[in-house]
Structure 1
Amino acid sequence: MSARYRVVAVSGSLHEPSKTTALLRAIAAAVAERIDVDVHIIELTEIGPGLAGALRRDDLPPAVEEQLRAIEEADLLIVGSPVYRASFTGLFKHLFDFIGQYALVGKPVLLAATGGGERHALIIEHQLRPLFAFFQALTLPLGVYASNTDFAGYEIISEQILSRVTLAAERALPLVGYAPVTDPRALAAF
């Protein structure tokens, strides 16, 4: 029997292993501890080469198209990127350039990021939130930011960050499955 809800986590990291991916896995695990979900992790390190030369969605290889459909069909998105030159990674943005303009309307999106220090924490508000506002997604008010000092290697060691992960998962749950299914063609008329 398949899980009731589909949670898709998208890591904008260009490295493996990755603190960003570790953070997204922790958030997805916190959600999975609370409700029946099927968690799917998308890592740019795996699909990036298939994205790099594409200018249109129909230029993408089938494996990347499959990941785009997973994003569009998710009941909850968990997205995160390391801070790279004061923003999310370019390949992360390129991935979302292929998402249908109305495919994420009303979809709950939990935002996360990692960076070298606390001064980068505003990436969630100044970079990620506006990107998903364009899609008319329901970005959750509570994001999760972790800096290098919150990790030992690629494991979260900060109790404060672990508590925030738990709180973010708990606050996301009431919205999972809430987004109405809408025909994107109807939205295009506006």
Structure 2
Amino acid sequence: MKLVGVSGSLIGEKTAIAVNEVLKRAKDLEPRLEIELVDMKDYEVEFVVGKPLEAYNEDTQTVIKKITEADLFVIGTPIYQASITGALKNLFDHLPTNVFESKVVGTVTTAGSEKHFLVADNQLKPILSFFKAITPTNVFVHSSDFDSNNVIVAEEVNTRIDTLAKELIHLHTKLKL
């Protein structure tokens, strides 16, 4: 069973840190779980222009392969201008429409404004619904929930991360019975 986390940010590290926390806590709950973080800033994913996947660069093909081979997911994005990142949207445009079908996909959003806490419900979950994903709890992490070393210190956020990790494992297990 493989859990892939995607950090849809091209700069900074808070989103990747938050997604990775979910991955680690899920692994603590299910030691047989294989986890991997796909941090978009580490890859040169080309813009979608309508070519077959094989015509895109190696990084694009690698990221798509990692996602298509996974069993469950955590998708994370910072919120810019009240929306998900362009890098994440571009990644979604590369994916086959059945990639998340009947698979559990948790979401993590990070932002500097509390006003952005509903972006996951209003933008990210409808996209995942198009892909036929099963979407449990979203974890919203405000910039102030991190300390100066970028460690998540807000107790409420850590509780939500634990809850998401539990939901991912529980729902995936139930779907596989």
Size of the aligned set, in residue pairs, is 173
Shift of residue 112, structure 1, vs aligned partner? 0.9
Equivalent position of 1:122 in the other structure: 118
69, 74, 78: which one pairs with 2:65? 69
23, 27, 30: which one pairs with 1:28? 23
Distance 1:178 1:101, change over 3 A: farther
Structure 1 stretches of 5 or more lacking a match? 181-190
Name which of structure 1's ranges 51-60 and 82-91 shifts more when overlaid on structure 2.
Answer: 51-60
Alignment of 1:138 onto 2:118: no
What pairs up with 1:45-60 in 2 under 5 angstroms?
Answer: 45-47=41-43, 49-52=44-47, 55-56=50-51, 57-60=53-56
Shift of residue 52, structure 1, vs aligned partner? 3.7
Equivalent position of 1:188 in the other structure: none
Q: Deviations over 1:110-147 (max 9, x none)?
A: 0110000211000110011001000011111x110000
Shift of residue 55, structure 1, vs aligned partner? 4.2
User: What is the alpha-carbon root mean square deviation over aligned residues?
Assistant: 1.6
What pairs up with 1:104-119 in 2 under 5 angstroms?
Answer: 104-119=100-115
The percentage of aligned residue pairs carrying the same residue is: 27
Q: Deviations over 1:3-55 (max 9, x none)?
A: xx101000011114x110010011111101000211111111111x3324754
TM-score of the two chains, using structure 1 as the length reference? 0.85
Equivalent position of 1:98 in the other structure: 94
TM-score of the two chains, using structure 2 as the length reference? 0.91
Contact 1:54 1:60 in 2 (8 A): no
Contact 1:20 1:80 in 2 (8 A): yes
Distance 1:42 1:54, change over 3 A: farther
Shift of residue 76, structure 1, vs aligned partner? 1.1
